[in-house]
Amino acid sequence: MRDPAPQIARFQRRRQRRRRCSGFTYGNGLIHSRTLNARGLPQRIRDHSGVASRLDYSYGYDRHGNVTSILDGVNANENRSLQYDARDRPIVATAPNIYGEEIYDYDALDNVRRVAGYPNGLGGYVQDHRYQYDASQRLYRIDNELGAQQWGFAGNGFGETYTRTGHGQSWNYQWNAAGRMTRATRYYAGSTWENYVYDTHGHRTRSTRNTGSTRFQVYSRAGQLLYTEDSRDNQRIDYIHLGNKLVAQRSRPLAGSTVTTTWHHTDHIGSANVETNAAGVQTQRTVRMPYGAPYSGVYREGPGFAGHVTDTQTNLTYMQQRYYDPIAQRFLSPDPVDVSPANGSNFNRYWYANNNPYKYRDPDGRYVESIWDAASIAVGVVSLAGNVWDGNWSAAAADVGGIAIDAAALALPVPGGAGMAIQASRQADNAASAINGLNLNKQLASESQTSRILAGEGEAIAGAGTDKALRDAPRLADQYGGAAGDWSKVSGGNHVAPDGTKIETHGYENKATGQIVELKTKLIDEGKR
């Protein structure tokens, strides 16, 4: 890796199974390491000097892959735990020494209905917010337990929020025909505003303030922030990534050459929680509420929640195709992607990350992806996106095959980025791409079935939970542990490709521990039976 600033170029990558990067060394000497548990899920993420840690998170999970505990090895006061409902939505988040306990209620349409919190579990809510929706399921106000309005919202005929009011401040938003915010005005001790310009990919490229200052932003095609130039702050900043992980930023004045390097240390969803300097000393630490709001109430400009940019003008998170409101815990505008005809998974047009911000993230405001997907298959998705863009279907199919292998620890219908490939594959109807488009169809079907099994949603077809004996049960118990009676053979469903080939994915699951092994996909040519 070549770079004019050698202190940033000292990354040494180590790999684990399934092509995952298990660690590297930052340019300031700190070591990043990641270990996996038996299910292939990250068990510990640590950035350290060999002795002292700057970031150290250990994770616990339930059988659905939901994060149930985060133990902080740097500051035990920041330990937290979570409980979920039957639809994998967090209902209790506990951090005894930070925000105490928060409870969440939802309705049948996945709207957040209540967020209540009290410190240290002692009772006496310090906040008890009730979320009110109109007949179109659009949020229009947040009240306290006495019915007094705390936040107010109003939208236009397209479902986009154009006013947001609360705590002595108000914002007005203007939108263009493409559903992108073009102007944000803040009213607080006067008024300030910013105008926004976007490129053809929907990435924000310029922000102009009423003071005349301008910020330019450059994004990669994959949506990574690469560079900003801001006349208000008199700074040019290069953002350095390793794969999809932000690791550092290099700042220098617009008219000078003095470079200041800051290293970023991110959690499992990519939130920039800790910053260090050239000596490896912590210079900034941020604690966030489960849905992304900073616990301190102070919003800092730049990379923040889930790796996206925080705007201090709006106190929103800019997620490229949409803006996310961490107070409302939803997007300000409806999802531009249609509801999935397969499972209706994105029926709610405004929710964030399937209402599970510790397991999922939204890479660009359109497609949800597993946080583990983001960490483990970023290279494959970037390659897939490029090949789909270029119409290189053979290479795209190979990428999907690699992504399917990496998806072996994920609980996803399809991994992030694959939605774009699926859409593109449906357009592969010319003679040159028909064969490779067919292969891609089969690979994506196998991937979807594999993910369904790993999400604990496979159908038991033999062994535990059925009346059919599983002859491999003794071998599985001997090889992988557990009681023979706990093992079952599970199916991820079946899919019939356009050429009539039937795709079926099977595996073995220990119903007591949730362990899943020996996943296999069979392609059956019905015409040759």
Mean pLDDT of the chain: 83
Summarised one tens digit per residue, pLDDT across range 252-307 is 999 988 999 999 999 999 999 999 999 999 999 999 999 999 988 889 999 999 99
Residue 207 near residue 214 (C-beta atoms within 8 A) = yes
Rounded Cα–Cα distance for residues 291 and 331 (Å): 12
State the virtual CA torsion across 511, 514, 519, 523 in degrees, nearest 10. Answer: 60
Q: Tell whether the model's pLDDT for residue 445 goes beyond 80.
A: no
Residue 74 near residue 94 (C-beta atoms within 8 A) = no
Predicted local distance difference test score (pLDDT) of residue 372: 58
Rounded Cα–Cα distance for residues 158 and 80 (Å): 39
Distances (CA, A) of 507 to 144, 325, 456, 457: 49, 40, 11, 12
Helical residues (DSSP H) of 368-497, grouped into ranges: 371-376, 378-390, 393-406, 418-426, 431-452, 473-480
Rounded Cα–Cα distance for residues 358 and 89 (Å): 10
Predicted local distance difference test score (pLDDT) of residue 218: 96
In degrees, rounded to 5, the angle at the alpha carbon of residue 405 between the alpha carbons of residues 402 and 411 is 125
Q: With cut-offs at 50, 70 and 90, classify the pLDDT of residue 44.
A: very high
CATH 2.180.10.10 positions along the chain are 6-331
Question: How many CA atoms does the CB half-sphere of 98 hold within 13 Å?
Answer: 20
Q: Tell whether the model's pLDDT for residue 124 goes beyond 90.
A: no
Predicted local distance difference test score (pLDDT) of residue 157: 93
DSSP lists the bridge partners of residue 186 as 171, 192
Q: Residue 364 is encoded by which pair of tokens?
A: 């660009």
DSSP lists the bridge partners of residue 94 as 81, 101
**DSSP secondary structure string for all residues of 302-371:** EE-GGGPEEETTTTEEE-SSSEEETTTTEESS--SSPPPTTT-TT-SSSBSGGG-TTTEE-SSSS--EEH
Q: Residue 312 is encoded by which pair of tokens?
A: 């201090």
Is pTM beyond 0.95 here? no
Residue of 160 and 377 predicted with greater confidence: 160
Residue of 483 and 427 predicted with greater confidence: 483
Q: Residue 8 is encoded by which pair of tokens?
A: 């940033």
In degrees, rounded to 5, the angle at the alpha carbon of residue 29 between the alpha carbons of residues 24 and 35 is 35
- Mean pLDDT computed over 99-115: 94
- Looking up tokens 């210079």 gives 283
Assigned fold of 6-331: RHS repeat-associated core (2.180.10)
Predicted local distance difference test score (pLDDT) of residue 53: 97
Under DSSP, is residue 387 helix (H, G, I), strand (E, B) or coil? helix
Rounded Cα–Cα distance for residues 186 and 193 (Å): 6
Sign of the Cα torsion 139, 143, 144, 147 reads negative
Summarised one tens digit per residue, pLDDT across range 378-412 is 434 444 444 544 555 455 554 554 444 444 334 33
- Mean pLDDT computed over 416-431: 40
Rounded Cα–Cα distance for residues 156 and 378 (Å): 36
Question: Exposure string (b/e) for 350-380, b if CB count within 10 Å is 16 or more?
Answer: bbbbbbbbbbbbbbbbbbbbbbbbbbbbbbb
Q: With cut-offs at 50, 70 and 90, classify the pLDDT of residue 246.
A: very high
Rounded Cα–Cα distance for residues 56 and 329 (Å): 27
Instruction: Say which DSSP state 173 is in.
Output: E
- Mean pLDDT computed over 459-476: 93
Predicted local distance difference test score (pLDDT) of residue 272: 92
Under DSSP, is residue 95 helix (H, G, I), strand (E, B) or coil? strand
DSSP lists the bridge partners of residue 114 as 105, 130
Q: With cut-offs at 50, 70 and 90, classify the pLDDT of residue 8.
A: low
Residue 310 near residue 276 (C-beta atoms within 8 A) = no
Summarised one tens digit per residue, pLDDT across range 201-219 is 899 999 999 999 999 999 9
Residues, the chain: 529
Predicted local distance difference test score (pLDDT) of residue 499: 80
- Which residues, in sequence order, are CB contacts of 42 under 8 Å at separation 6+? 34, 35, 36, 59, 268, 372, 375
Rounded Cα–Cα distance for residues 195 and 270 (Å): 28
Rounded Cα–Cα distance for residues 397 and 388 (Å): 9
Percent share of the chain, pLDDT over 70: 80
